[in-house]
């Protein structure tokens, strides 16, 4: 049988490859490494021009230069195919998978997967779509985009816009609208799917006028734009952070955007990919173009795109963040416990607080969650709960509440301990490790020699089918919808649901979404925040967190 060929225009074609999966007795066709956009360094992207003739589309997509060790750790123990050999600043390429034997009259549902962690790491190639498209008769698109400083560089005057990371994703969605019908996809039935930082950006783009008509359903998992830790940053603060770093790295010029841009354009890729220090918290920017105003304010006003939504989390979101802060160590003492809370508050959640307000909020959180019996394990469980709520749970629940007022919304949580996982017995599924199950990795031999149990495969199959049903119809037939009245959460587990309590708790929601924000309002206005002094505090706190120092005797 000849390889699959798709015409993008009368003069332009792509040739893919066809594979057959014996376990599912189905064929899948893939087209990888297709260029969807072009972008020079720190410039807006544009749709890629088509070519003449037929191109072979069987190579992995380019990915943005990054520190691949972090990407590997994020998805370990599955093997990552990306490395320096396929990294390139001009990385705007995508991959497409579809079921074999698509009829000419068919228009299949489309899901566009955005892969990003920490706004610095990600690639179109992390997950292969073969298994997902065996289980679901849908078309899966994955794509690479600019990350780190390449995607976020900002100057106060707007010469450096700060949202190239979002503009690239919008360009990929525009390409899908223009060409996916040639592959048998329905451009009027597109689901935009993101997890972790990508979920924050998907929910962020729901507030952008540039995205109207580009997608019709969303899947947001394990983060949202409503989190204090991933909230879009005012341009003034983002630009000052970048300027502060540049000064530390030898830049002698002014804050003028053209001057900074010229300096950055003169530097090597290797220099730029590590310039936004790994321990710095970075997010998208309120630029007045992609994000005309703070997405949180847009949600408050009810002006976001009101689309069907599937959102959720895993049982132990806080575990990964706790391990990062503790460097696989223990919470040593009550003062160490308080310090871990202080770092989360000052580094990732409330960057503009005065020192006095920062201490007030730190004490409030510590007093609420301090365990009665102070053992290492109990302290660790408390930090897990705090980090899980402050980074993920409280804002995902808030996102579900907003959307449920206007359209179909499902809220789910995954309780399953992978067979390979060697963490504490009281921990099951942790941040980002669920994605392997949602893309069918337990059924694939392309990710190394991991041994997957029958339970792992059963959970994986269930997740793929439920996601596929939502992608196709915007509904999940045997799930109850989430509303502010029912507050129903679908618990996904092989255990009896009667034995599992939801991780979404009203008390935690009110504490992190109402109590703390109301107290923070008492602080001095953000206009009075000293950026220079704040950056010094922020850098010191970030540095000690990244290196794992115990700073329990220091109030930064």
Q: Please list the active-site residues.
A: 196
C-alpha to C-alpha distance for 256 and 258, rounded to whole angstroms: 6
Q: What is the rounded end-to-end Cα distance, in angstroms, of the chain?
A: 67
C-alpha to C-alpha distance for 348 and 327, rounded to whole angstroms: 18
Strands 285-286 and 233-234: parallel
366: helix, strand or coil: helix
Q: How many CB atoms lie within 10 A of CB 546?
A: 16
Residues paired with residue 29 on neighbouring β-strands, in sequence order:
18, 98
**H or E element at residue 468:** helix 454-473
DSSP for 302-320, written as a single string: T-S----EEEEEETBTHHH
481: helix, strand or coil: coil
**CA Rg, the chain, in Å?**
23
Residues paired with residue 154 on neighbouring β-strands, in sequence order:
161
Pair 198, 118: CB distance under 8 Å? no
User: How is residue 226 annotated by DSSP?
Assistant: T
Alpha helices, DSSP H, located in 331-453: 334-343, 355-369, 376-388, 394-404, 435-438
Residues paired with residue 195 on neighbouring β-strands, in sequence order:
221
């Amino acid at each position: 049988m000849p390889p699959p060929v798709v015409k993008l225009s009368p003069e332009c074609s792509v040739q893919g490859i066809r594979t057959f999966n014996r376990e599912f007795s189905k064929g899948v066709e893939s087209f990888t490494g297709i260029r969807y956009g072009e972008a020079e360094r720190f410039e807006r992207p544009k749709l890629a021009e088509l070519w003449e003739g037929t191109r072979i589309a069987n190579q992995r997509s380019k990915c943005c230069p990054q520190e691949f060790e972090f990407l590997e750790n994020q998805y370990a123990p599955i093997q990552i195919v990306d490395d320096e050999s396929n990294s390139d600043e001009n990385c705007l390429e995508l991959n497409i998978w579809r079921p074999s034997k698509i009829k000419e009259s068919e228009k299949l549902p489309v899901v566009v997967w955005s892969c990003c962690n920490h706004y610095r790491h990600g690639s179109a190639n992390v997950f292969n779509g073969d298994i997902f498209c065996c289980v679901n008769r849908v078309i899966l698109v994955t794509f690479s985009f600019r990350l780190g400083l390449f995607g976020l560089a900002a100057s106060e005057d707007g010469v450096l816009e700060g949202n190239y990371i979002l503009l690239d994703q919008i360009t990929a969605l525009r390409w899908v609208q223009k060409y996916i019908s040639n592959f048998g996809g329905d451009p009027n039935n597109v689901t935009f799917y993101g997890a972790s930082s990508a979920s924050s950006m998907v929910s962020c783009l729901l507030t952008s006028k540039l995205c109207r008509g580009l997608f019709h359903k969303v899947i947001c998992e394990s983060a949202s734009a409503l989190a204090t830790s991933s909230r879009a940053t005012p341009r003034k603060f983002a630009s000052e952070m970048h300027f502060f770093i540049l000064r530390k790295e030898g830049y002698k010029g002014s804050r003028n955007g053209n001057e900074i841009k010229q300096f950055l354009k003169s530097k090597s890729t290797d220099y730029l990919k590590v310039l936004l220090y790994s321990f710095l918290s970075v997010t998208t920017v309120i630029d007045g173009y992609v994000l005309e105003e703070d997405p949180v304010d847009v949600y408050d006003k009810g002006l976001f795109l009101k689309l069907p939504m599937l959102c959720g989390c895993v049982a132990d979101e806080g575990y990964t963040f706790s391990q990062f802060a503790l460097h696989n160590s223990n919470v040593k003492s009550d003062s160490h416990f308080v310090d871990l809370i202080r770092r989360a508050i000052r580094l990732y959640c409330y960057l503009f607080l005065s020192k006095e307000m920062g201490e007030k909020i730190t004490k409030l959180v510590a007093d609420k969650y301090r365990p009665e019996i102070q053992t290492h394990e109990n302290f660790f469980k408390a930090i897990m709960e705090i980090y899980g709520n402050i980074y993920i749970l409280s804002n995902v629940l808030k996102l579900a509440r907003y959307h449920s007022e206007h359209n179909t919304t499902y809220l789910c949580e995954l309780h399953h301990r992978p067979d390979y996982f060697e963490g504490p017995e009281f921990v099951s599924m942790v941040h980002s490790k669920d994605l392997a199950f949602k893309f069918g990795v337990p059924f694939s031999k392309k990710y190394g020699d991991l041994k997957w149990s029958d339970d792992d495969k059963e959970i994986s199959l269930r997740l793929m089918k439920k996601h596929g049903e939502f992608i196709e119809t915007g509904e999940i037939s045997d799930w109850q919808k989430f509303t502010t009245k029912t507050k129903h959460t679908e618990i996904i587990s092989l255990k009896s649901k009667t034995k599992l309590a939801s991780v979404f708790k009203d008390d935690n929601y009110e504490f992190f979404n109402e109590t703390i924000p109301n107290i923070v309002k008492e602080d001095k206005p953000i206009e009075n925040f000293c950026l220079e002094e704040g950056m010094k505090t922020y850098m010191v706190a970030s540095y000690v967190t990244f290196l794992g120092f115990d700073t329990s005797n220091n109030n930064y």
